[in-house]
Amino acid sequence: MASADNPRILVFGAGAVGCFIGGAWKAAGLDVHFAGRERLQREIGEYGLTLTDQNGWKAVFAAADIDYQTKPQALRQADIVLLTVKTVGIEAAAKEIAKHARPGTRVLSFQNGVTAAERLKKLLPRQQVLHGMVPFNVVRLGPGRWHRATFGELVAEASETTRALAARIGDQPGKLLLADDMRGVAWGKLLYNLNNAINALSRETILAELRQRDYRRVFAAAIVEALSLLDAAGIEPAKIGLVPPRLLPHVIGSPDLVFRSMFLKVQKIDPKARGSMSDDFEAGRRTEIDDLNGEVVRLAATLGRSAPVNKAIVDLVKMAEAGVERRWTARELADHVLQRHKSARGFGY
């Protein structure tokens, strides 16, 4: 039950990330409620909610123990809103929050990309928007079942609210780390998300995709391009995971043997993990591409430069969004993205 030291949390837009984080926090004793689409309400109403992770942790909630609502009026009672819609949904979600949530409600935004929290702060002047970051992958295993398929801890903007949440969750799954430089954290995470589009275009799991060096060459070239623009813009991406940002493309682009023994051995990617953009491809939905590789293209434009590798990737995803169904093999993608762009070809991997 909600109380001053256990506020009522509403996960708004509860899908993969929202069900996992909300469920993990509920298992840790927080007062968590969910709101989202009818199909998920029906599913959880029938199967309950089961969460697992790579460490063998498992939390099982019976349907009766999960409050999953579909009406935005659920926002009225929330002390904290955990916003877990995709970036393409934040404007619509913000309208609902502005209409139904109480002034002063804290809104913790967990989107990928670097601008969601800033956009929300403008759209929700009466609420307190806080920036969050999800480093790990969540994959759906079946009705009501979500699995955390890569490692890393959640990060949120340091504030009284997030400090109290972090203290309550402690070291349990869903652990929350605090940071002052969320811009650096978001850009550090974006470097990893430059692979979301490659993963979706490959139609493979993340592990199967990353085992193929030509996909990694494209990923590494996209990171190199982003890093050079970040340097020019004076933005320092934070280290997310085990590899410092500037080393990342060297590790990603390295030969198979090195990559497998250096990265895959340590980073441990579950064979079931699939990037979140793959879900959008499967559902025929608009993707977050404009907030991922598209953000790099925009940064280049503000600097009077270009970002041909990331732009080529954006264009392929836009084609897929427009209905062009194609599975890009590693060789085809590398040929298409890298061969046409001299700067990427000179990258050396």
Ligand X SMILES: NC(=O)C1=CN([C@@H]2O[C@H](COP(=O)(O)OP(=O)(O)OC[C@H]3O[C@@H](n4cnc5c(N)ncnc54)[C@H](OP(=O)(O)O)[C@@H]3O)[C@@H](O)[C@H]2O)C=CC1
Ligand Y SMILES: CC(C)(CO)C(=O)C(=O)O
Minimal distance, residue 20 CB to ligand Y, in Å: 12
Closest residue by beta carbon to ligand X: 15
Minimal distance, residue 113 CB to ligand X, in Å: 7
Residue 209 sits in the site that holds ligand X (CB under 6 A): no
Out of ligand X, ligand Y, none, what residue 184 binds, judged by CB under 5 to 8 A for its kind, is none
User: Contacts with ligand Y in 261-280 (CB under 6 A)?
Assistant: 273, 275-276
| Rounded (10°) CA dihedral 287, 289, 290, 292 | 130
Which span (12-20, 121-129, 212-220, 295-303) binds ligand X, by CB under 6 A?
A: 12-20
Residue 87 sits in the site that holds ligand X (CB under 6 A): yes
Choose, by CB under 6 A, the member of 86, 106, 131, 183 that binds ligand X: 86
Quick one: 40 exposed, middle or buried, by C-beta within 10 A (0-12, 13-18, 19+)? buried
Task: Kindly tell me which of 178 and 207 has the beta carbon lying closer to ligand Y.
Answer: 207
Task: Look up residue 334 and give its two tokens.
Answer: 């590398």
Site string for ligand Y, 96-135 (x = CB under 6 A): ----------------x-----------------------
Choose, by CB under 6 A, the member of 110, 136, 187, 263 that binds ligand Y: 136
Minimal distance, residue 306 CB to ligand X, in Å: 25
Rg of the chain on CA atoms, in Å: 20
Per this entry, what is the length of the chain? 349
Task: Kindly tell me which of 15 and 237 has the beta carbon lying closer to ligand X.
Answer: 15
Task: Kindly tell me which of 40 and 179 has the beta carbon lying closer to ligand X.
Answer: 40
Out of ligand Y, ligand X, none, what residue 52 binds, judged by CB under 5 to 8 A for its kind, is none
Out of ligand Y, ligand X, none, what residue 150 binds, judged by CB under 5 to 8 A for its kind, is ligand Y
Q: Report residue 61 CA to chain centroid gap.
A: 24
Contacts to ligand X by CB under 6 A: 13, 15-18, 36-37, 40, 84-87, 89, 92-93, 96, 110-112, 134, 137-138, 276, 288
